[in-house]
Every structure is written in C-alpha cells, then in structure tokens.
C-alpha cells in the first residue's frame, strides 16, 4: 500500500509539469505537497519543480532568475496565476491554494494609507489588491518577466499607487509600514533564510507577512523518497524551513509573531506568519534614524544636534534602560572596548536591544551566546566611568 501511495505521488507530480493532453509518465518526484499526509506539494511562490536531495553545484538566485524569465517557467506560472482555463487539476489546486494565502493576508493586513513593500511580487497577486485597498505599494521581483506582467495587470486595473521593478531582494532599500514576502522563501536554503528575514525586518517599521513551506517529518520523508527516482534535469531547487527557525529569526530582529495560518491543499502547502515590531524594535528604529550615530559618522553626535521633541526625550529616558551597554557595540564591550555602531545591525534578547559595529561583530556575539552577555555586563561596569566622559547621545540622559 505504501508503495502504491509513493507511485501515486510521482504520477501526480508530473501533472504539474504538463497539461493533461501532453503528460508523460512521471520518472521523479517533481513537486512538493501533501496528499493524505504524503503527496506532492507545489508551493505557489513560483517554484514548479522540486527534485529531492539536489546536490547540483549551482547558484540558486541565478537559477531562479533564469527559470522565471524563461518561456517554460514564466509561461507556466503566469498561467497558473491567472483566470485561464488552460490548466490541469494540479495547477488548479496550486492556484486555489495560493489564492487562499493571498486572501488571508488581505484579511489581516491594514492597507489604507500605509506603505507596503512586496518582495518577490510575481504577477502582482498581492500588490494589486493591496493598492486597490488604499496602500502605496513598492513591489519587486527578480524576474523581469514577472515584474513586467505585474505592471501590465496593474495598469489594466487602473492602479496608480503601485510600482513594479526588477530587482533581487538584496538591492531593495527604504522603510515601509508593511513588508510582505509570500511563498518566496522556498528558493532560499537554510543558511540564507536568516539573511532573508534580516532583510524583511530591516525594511519594515511595523508589520511583516511571510509564508513558506514548513519542514515537517512527513515532508522530510517525502524529500528522501524523491531521490529514489531517476529522471531529467531539474528546474530550480526548493527548500523547507522549520517554523521555529523562522520565528527565531524574526525575534532576533525584534519582531513577534502574532498569528499564523496553514493553507493545505492536495498540491499546495504553505504556512503564513504575521509578525509585528516590538516596542523595543520600533524605538530602536526611531532612535537610530534620528540620532544617526552610526559608525560611518566616526563619532557619536551630541544631543544638541538632534531634532528631538520634548516628548521624545521623556520617552527616551524610559526606554534607554533597554539599550545594552548604552548603545555601544555589545561585542566590543565584551572585550573591554567602546566602539560606535551601525544602527541597522542589532539583536533583541529578553526585550533588551544590543547594537553592533558590523555584521561580523553580531555574528561573533551570537556564536558566544550564552555566556557573553554576562562577560559584557562585567566589562560594562568597568567602563562606566569612561562612558560618563563621552559626549555621545546616550550619556546626555
């Protein structure tokens, strides 16, 4: 019976690849999904094919860009994310599942008057309705074909408050009330997932909506099963992620998950998270943007140069106690040094904000945790007298 179910998975997966009239006998587990707990999952972030245990020496970003700009990849997913009747049963399931995830975001997210950054926007399935609800949307996709199609659809819908550009996520900048990244994380391996979450948090002032294929024991087994079937070359690789890892990456950046929703179809499986910036994270952003005391300035500016209101100062006196070591680089303090920081590089531990001079310092700090906080606490006590002589913004309080 188990063997029959595996074969059914393989046969079903091939339906994702080709319309009914051109289906070929399936030779490999080619899509992710769940059918009675073990099936073919095709996540609607635009990934058409998963080949389990893929060890090719390729660059994921390059492969994704090439695939979704190509006639096969773009054509398939543009059709799925449309109202075309030229889809098979599996593709219809993917369309319905992805639509459910989009609808859930739309039911949760505030839109009117807010700025939104939609990363990996595809053909505009989320960006366009958010703009229709009153948001100002900046959307991007690594695929020029996808971004161009999204722009065409927005124009046809009379949307003037959404822009679409071709860009990878690393080159997107700015600050937005809301940042969304729907069904894109499947293209990011585990070691790069944290960096993606870091990017989402750096862009968001308030809300984050992110969805991904969760790594469960059943899907892990399914991935192994896929490696048993030889077949043609793969399109792009796909990655599953543990929910607790994504939640931890958000928490490290000062975002707390408020709610989650699992969309499960026979051929679509996606976990959506809504995360909100904590008070510590929100205040850190405001202080960093106002004071501009980053290491790039080479010295800490004086408070008299700041454009803070009286209420800002009162609030700061309350919240400053939550800044680790007065806002100096936490890792440097653990070594007995006072070093200025980059305000965009920080972690939040137990509702306390720790800033760092650069990403390398943050990584070193995290690698020595637990234990380094206690060491830094002791060093900070020794440095208090030196800190009092500094005329940086924190010593003014």
Complete DSSP assignment for 228-274: TS--SPPS-----B-HHHHHHHHHHTTEEEEEEEEEEETTEEEEEEE
Cα–Cα distance for residue pair 267/63, rounded to 1 Å = 23
Query: Per-residue pLDDT for 162 more than 90?
Result: yes
Cα–Cα distance for residue pair 341/300, rounded to 1 Å = 9
Give the number of C-alpha atoms closer than 13 A to the C-alpha of residue 126, restricted to the C-beta side. Answer: 36
pLDDT grade, residue 51 (50/70/90)? very low
Query: Per-residue pLDDT for 279 more than 90?
Result: no
**Residue that is written with structure tokens 């720790």 in the block:** 354
Q: Report DSSP state, residue 176.
A: E
Cα–Cα distance for residue pair 10/6, rounded to 1 Å = 6
> Thinking of the domain 2-277, which architecture would CATH place it in?
3-Layer(aba) Sandwich (3.40)
Return the C-alpha torsion angle 30, 188, 257, 344, nearest 10. -170
- C-beta neighbour count of 109 within 10 angstroms: 20
Between 163 and 45, name the one with better pLDDT: 163
Q: How far apart are the first and last CA of the chain?
A: 71
* Averaged pLDDT for residues 186-199: 90
* Averaged pLDDT for residues 332-350: 81
C-alpha of 106 from chain center: 18
Res 288: pLDDT:
53
- Give start-end residues of each CATH 3.40.50.150 domain in the chain: 2-277
pLDDT grade, residue 222 (50/70/90)? low
**Residue that is written with structure tokens 């960093």 in the block:** 288
Res 312: pLDDT:
45
Query: Per-residue pLDDT for 251 more than 70?
Result: yes
Token pair, residue 308, equals 């803070």
Cα–Cα distance for residue pair 11/19, rounded to 1 Å = 13
For residue 112, give every residue at least 6 positions away whose Cβ sits within 8 Å of its Cβ, in sequence order, or none: 133, 134, 135
Q: Could you give the C-alpha distances from 89 to 13, 20, 231, 276, 346, in angstroms and in order? A: 11, 9, 23, 37, 47
Res 191: pLDDT:
85
Res 276: pLDDT:
94
- Report which of 240, 269, 235, 195 is spatially closest to residue 65, judged by C-alpha positions: 235
Cis peptide before 318 (omega within 30 of 0): no
For residue 221, give every residue at least 6 positions away whose Cβ sits within 8 Å of its Cβ, in sequence order, or none: 38
Mean of per-residue pLDDT scores for the chain: 74
Res 81: pLDDT:
92
pLDDT grade, residue 224 (50/70/90)? low
Res 100: pLDDT:
97
Averaging pLDDT over each range in 52-56, 274-278, 295-299, 369-373, which range is the top one? 274-278
Q: Report DSSP state, residue 294.
A: B
Res 253: pLDDT:
85
Query: Per-residue pLDDT for 218 more than 50?
Result: yes
Cα–Cα distance for residue pair 275/289, rounded to 1 Å = 22
Angle ∠(376,381,386) on CA atoms, nearest 5? 110
Across 212-216, 304-308, 348-352, least confident range = 304-308
pLDDT grade, residue 278 (50/70/90)? confident
- Report which of 203, 276, 270, 212 is spatially closest to residue 246, judged by C-alpha positions: 212
Three-class SS of residue 396?
A: helix
Across 39-43, 288-292, 344-348, 384-388, least confident range = 39-43
pLDDT grade, residue 45 (50/70/90)? very low
Backbone angle region of 120, left / alpha / beta, with phi > 0 → left and psi within -120 to 50 → alpha: left
* Averaged pLDDT for residues 27-42: 32
Q: What is the pTM of this model?
A: 0.65
For residue 321, give every residue at least 6 positions away whose Cβ sits within 8 Å of its Cβ, in sequence order, or none: none
- Report which of 370, 392, 391, 388 is spatially closest to residue 380, judged by C-alpha positions: 388
């Amino acid at each position: 019976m188990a063997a029959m179910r595996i074969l059914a998975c393989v046969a079903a997966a091939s339906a994702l690849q080709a319309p009914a009239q051109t289906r070929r006998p399936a030779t490999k587990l080619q899509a992710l999904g769940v059918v009675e707990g073990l099936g073919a999952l095709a996540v609607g972030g635009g990934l058409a094919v998963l080949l389990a245990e893929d060890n090719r020496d390729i660059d994921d970003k390059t492969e994704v860009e090439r695939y979704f700009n190509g006639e096969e990849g773009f054509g398939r997913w543009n059709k799925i994310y449309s109202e075309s009747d030229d889809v098979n049963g599996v593709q219809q399931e993917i369309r319905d599942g992805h639509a459910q995830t989009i609808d859930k975001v739309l039911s949760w997210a505030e839109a009117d008057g807010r700025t939104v950054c939609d990363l990996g926007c595809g053909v505009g399935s989320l960006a366009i309705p958010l703009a229709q609800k009153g948001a100002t949307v900046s959307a991007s996709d690594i695929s020029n074909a996808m971004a161009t199609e999204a722009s065409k659809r927005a124009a046809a819908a009379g949307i003037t408050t959404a822009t679409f550009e071709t860009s990878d996520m690393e080159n997107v900048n700015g600050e937005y009330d809301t940042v969304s990244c729907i069904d894109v994380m499947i293209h990011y391996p585990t070691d790069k997932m944290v960096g993606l979450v870091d990017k989402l948090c750096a862009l968001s002032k308030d809300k984050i909506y992110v969805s991904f294929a969760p790594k469960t024991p059943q899907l892990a087994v399914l991935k192994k099963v896929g490696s048993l079937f030889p077949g043609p070359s793969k399109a792009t690789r796909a990655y599953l992620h543990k929910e607790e890892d994504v939640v931890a990456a958000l928490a490290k950046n000062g975002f707390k998950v408020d709610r989650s929703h699992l969309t499960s179809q026979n051929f679509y499986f996606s976990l959506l998270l809504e995360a909100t910036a904590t008070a510590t994270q929100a205040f850190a952003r405001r202080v960093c943007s106002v004071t501009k005391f980053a290491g790039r300035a080479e010295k800490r500016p004086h408070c008299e140069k700041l454009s803070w209101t009286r209420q800002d100062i009162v609030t700061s006196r309350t919240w400053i106690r939550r800044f680790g070591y007065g806002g100096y680089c936490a890792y440097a303090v653990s070594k007995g040094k006072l070093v200025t920081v980059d305000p965009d590089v920080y972690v939040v531990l137990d509702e306390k904000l720790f800033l760092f001079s650069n990403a390398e310092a943050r990584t070193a700090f995290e690698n020595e945790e637990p234990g380094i906080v206690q060491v830094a606490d002791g060093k900070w006590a020794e440095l208090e007298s030196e800190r009092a002589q500094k005329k940086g913004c924190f010593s003014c309080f």
